[in-house]
């Protein structure tokens, strides 16, 4: 299977005043289409930075990232935003739903950027919410949902525009064990049934076990899990 | 159009704050329209002036009068078609707040010189032949519930005593700027005041408008060294000088208008800045989903403009409705006072500008927001 993600010699350096803080150092990585990859490592190891670079919301200091056929490190501004809207679904640890929008409206948000008609948008949203099992919570506001349900809405929002790549930043980090299991099961289902490529940052070894491959990031350097 | 719902939802997120901002814009635009309407009404007074008519008044001030003896000499000037005269009466109807302008006039010459007063012929004849008769504007008839042939009593202030008048005619002003006044016989004033009344202004109708400057100069030269020297102006200039008694009213009202505009600009800017600051993580999420910097800029700007338009339009329409329904005219000082369509358009342009200026900084800040930095604030 061809790699959907190809990271070459990726380096990310932060600057704090005159201090140089390298977060990712000459990192290379291949991820196949349809893979479910868990990215683990201690706090401050650069996991989220790598995920942000893959999502095109952070810019690497050097190196290249090719996703699909697109070298996203060469994209800027409007074209990068457009690429993100079509190719990436992002799932945050704290769900990051818009509190004044209902579950339906939150999921509809990415579709407002498309040329779909109102009716088509409604159909897409209903499908996404049914996949995550929240068809009965369609008009609920985030405050009326449990943490697990909020994360399901966030996942529905991530998949509604049918992106090939899902990026999840500690999706179970704020959930109890039962809800975490349900979310992991859902991600696993999206990977297996809908062939979504998933890259998940996690601290939780149990979550990592659900993935097909685990890689470790420590002090900006990648290493593969030893069986 | 699909983003309108999003803008509306964001405006409703802090209901009290949005309502207070909305109300402040409503009040500000209501005041703005009122001030503009006052200015427009004052300026419209010049429209009723006719260049074919000259007004002769005391050169010291309009509050000083002129002798009746000037009449024959003025009539004798070859360029003059006819001469009329008026005097301010200043009476009180029942109580002081019932103010309306009253003028003692020479009826025949005055009515023939002012076709702007449209009056039925039979009523005109009745007015002319009776010394205590008066004519009043139809607005006054309606306001005080008078009927034709009613007798009304005014309490004289400049000319003390009880002054009964019989309403023999009701006129309709050809233009609303002409206003609702009361006109009665100067002879009645002269006799009942025991010859205390003089002439406030002479009005001269010219045979040829081009002679206006020449005639004015001749009149003023003639009376230059008399006890009652004159100032002769065409009617438009005369009305302009009358308004100037209030000082530079235009500058004053425009300054107040600008201050109000600036105040709502600050209020709306504050609302938008607070609203955007609360939403930094949400804006970052939207950008992560693929909203471009430009789209975020437009959405925030549109929110500010939408709020201002909503408040501004309500304020303008409220002002128009209120003044039209109540027929407010500042006790006759502002005849034809109303909030015109032009004033509403001006108010709306101001509103959109205020919305744009108040929204541009938060919109720009939002568009420049770094997603990664903003997400750290969650």
Q: Is A75 helix (H, G, I), strand (E, B) or coil?
A: coil
* Claim to verify: residue B256 and residue B228 sit in the same structural domain: no
Helix, strand, or coil (residue B372): helix
Nearest Cα residue in chain B from A79: B292
Same domain, B176 and B270: no
3-state SS, residue B175: coil
Of B181, B210, B241, the domain-final residue:
B241
Residues 45-74 of A with CB under 8 A from B: 52, 55, 57-58
Check residue B17 and report its DSSP letter: H
State which H helix or E strand residue B168 sits in.
Answer: strand B161-173
Q: What is the DSSP letter of A73?
A: G
Percent of chain B with pLDDT over 70: 94
Domain ranges of chain A: 5-226
Contact B132, B188 (CB under 8 A): yes
Angle, helices B293-326/B280-289, rounded to nearest 10 degrees: 120
User: pLDDT tens, B337-364?
Assistant: 888 899 999 999 999 999 999 999 999 9
Verify that B211 and B292 share a domain, yes or no.
Answer: no
- B204-247 residue pLDDT tens: 999 988 889 999 999 999 999 898 999 999 888 887 776 666 66
If asked whether residues B89 and B214 sit together in one domain, one would say yes
Cβ-based contacts of A100 with chain B (< 8 Å): 9-10, 12-13
User: Residue B190's pLDDT is what?
Assistant: 93
Range of the domain at B169: 53-241
- For residues B366 and A226, the model is more confident at B366
Q: Mean pLDDT per segment of 10 residues, for chain A of length 227 residues? A: 87 88 90 92 89 93 92 91 93 92 95 93 94 92 94 95 93 88 92 93 87 87 68
Cβ of A90 within 8 Å of Cβ of B288? The answer is yes
Domain finish residue from B172, B206, B241: B241
- Residue A225 per-residue DSSP state: P
pLDDT at residue B328 greater than cutoff 90: no
Pair (B270, B314) in one structural domain: yes
**Pairwise CA distance, residues A187 & A211, whole Å:** 9
ipTM: 0.92
**Residue B46's pLDDT is what?**
65
For chains A and B, CB pairs below 8 A equal 63
> Is any Cβ of chain B less than 8 angstroms from the Cβ of A98?
yes
B26 shares its domain with B68: no
Number of structural domains (chain B) is: 2
What is the predicted pLDDT for the residue at A98? 94
Give the pLDDT confidence score for residue B163 in this predicted structure. Answer: 94
Q: How far is CA A134 from the centre of its chain?
A: 20
> Which of A81, A96, A157 is opposite residue B292, by nearest beta carbon?
A81
Identify the burial level of B234 via C-beta atoms within 10 angstroms of its C-beta, where 0-12 means exposed, 13-18 middle and 19 or more buried.
Answer: buried
Q: What is the pLDDT of residues B123-160, one digit of tens each?
A: 999 999 999 999 999 988 998 999 999 999 999 989 99
Please tell me whether residues B197 and B89 are part of one structural domain: yes
Give exposure, A147-168, as e/b (b: 16+ Cβ within 10 Å): bbbbbbbbbbbbbbbebbbbbb
> Over the Cα atoms of chain A, what is R_g?
17
| pLDDT value for B191 | 92
- List the end-to-end C-alpha distance of chain A, in Å, as a whole number: 22
The CA–CA distances, whole Å, from B66 to A227, B78, B80, B223, B243 equal 117, 22, 19, 11, 21
Query: In whole numbers, what is the pLDDT of chain B averaged over residues?
Result: 89
Burial (0-12, 13-18, 19+ Cβ within 10 Å), A114: middle
CATH number of the structural domain A5-226: 3.40.50.300
pTM: 0.75
Distance CA A50, CA A10 (A): 9
Examine the fold and report which residue of B241, B264, B279 is the final residue of a domain before the chain moves on: B241
Distance from CA of A164 to the nearest CA of B (A): 14
Per-range mean pLDDT, top range of A69-83, B38-52, B242-256: A69-83
């Amino acid at each position: 299977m061809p790699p959907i993600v190809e990271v070459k010699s990726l380096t990310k350096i932060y600057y704090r005043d005159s201090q140089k803080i390298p977060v990712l150092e000459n990192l290379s990585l291949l991820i196949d289409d349809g893979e479910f990859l868990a990215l683990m490592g201690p706090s401050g190891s650069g996991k989220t930075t790598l995920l942000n670079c893959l999502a095109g919301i952070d810019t690497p200091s050097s190196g290249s990232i090719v996703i699909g056929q697109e070298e996203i490190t060469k994209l800027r501004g409007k074209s990068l935003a457009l690429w993100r809207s079509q190719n990436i679904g992002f799932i945050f640890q704290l769900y990051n739903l818009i509190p004044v929008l209902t579950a339906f409206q939150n999921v509809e948000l990415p579709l407002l950027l498309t040329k779909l008609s109102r009716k088509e948008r409604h159909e897409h949203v209903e499908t996404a919410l049914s996949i995550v099992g929240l068809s009965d919570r369609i008009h609920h506001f985030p405050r009326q949902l449990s943490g697990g349900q909020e994360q399901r809405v966030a996942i529905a929002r991530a998949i509604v525009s049918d992106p090939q790549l899902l990026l999840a930043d500690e999706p179970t980090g704020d959930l109890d064990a039962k809800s975490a299991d349900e979310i992991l099961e859902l991600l696993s289902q999206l990977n297996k049934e809908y062939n979504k490529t998933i890259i998940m940052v996690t601290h939780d070894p149990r979550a990592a076990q659900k993935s097909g491959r685990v890689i470790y990031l420590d002090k900006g350097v990648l290493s593969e899990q030893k069986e | 159009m699909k983003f309108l719902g999003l803008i509306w939802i964001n405006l409703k997120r802090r209901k009290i704050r949005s309502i207070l901002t909305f109300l402040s814009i409503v009040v500000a635009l209501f005041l703005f329209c009122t001030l503009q309407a006052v200015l427009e009404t004052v300026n419209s007074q010049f429209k009723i002036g006719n260049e074919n008519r000259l007004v002769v008044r005391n050169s010291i001030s309009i509050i000083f009068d002129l002798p009746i003896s000037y009449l024959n000499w003025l009539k004798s000037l070859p360029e003059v078609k006819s001469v009329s005269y008026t005097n301010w009466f200043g009476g009180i109807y029942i109580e002081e707040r019932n103010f309306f302008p009253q003028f003692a006039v020479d009826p025949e010459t005055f009515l023939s010189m002012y076709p702007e007063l449209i009056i039925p012929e039979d009523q005109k004849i009745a007015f002319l032949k009776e010394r205590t008769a008066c004519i009043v504007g139809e607005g006054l008839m309606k306001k005080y519930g008078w009927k034709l042939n009613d007798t009304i009593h005014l309490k004289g202030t400049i000319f003390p005593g009880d002054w009964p008048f019989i309403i023999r005619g009701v006129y309709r002003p050809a233009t609303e700027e002409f206003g609702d006044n009361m006109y009665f016989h100067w002879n009645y004033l002269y006799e009942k005041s025991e010859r205390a009344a003089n002439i406030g202004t002479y009005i001269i109708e010219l045979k040829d408008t081009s002679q206006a400057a020449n005639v004015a100069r001749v009149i003023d030269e003639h009376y230059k060294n008399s006890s009652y020297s004159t100032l002769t102006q065409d009617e438009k200039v005369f009305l302009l000088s009358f308004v100037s008694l209030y000082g530079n009213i235009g500058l004053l009202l425009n300054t107040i208008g600008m201050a109000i505009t600036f105040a709502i600009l600050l209020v709306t800017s504050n609302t938008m800045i607070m609203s955007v600051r609360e939403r930094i993580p949400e804006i970052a999420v939207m950008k992560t989903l693929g909203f471009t910097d430009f789209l975020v800029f437009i959405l925030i700007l549109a929110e500010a403009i939408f709020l201002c338009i909503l408040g501004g339009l309500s304020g303008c329409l409220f002002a128009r409705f209120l003044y039209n329904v109540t027929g407010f005219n500042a006790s006759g000082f502002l005849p034809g006072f109303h909030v015109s369509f032009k004033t509403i358009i001006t108010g709306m342009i101001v509103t959109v500008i205020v919305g744009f200026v108040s929204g541009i900084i938060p919109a720009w800040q939002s568009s420049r927001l770094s997603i990664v930095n903003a997400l750290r604030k969650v």
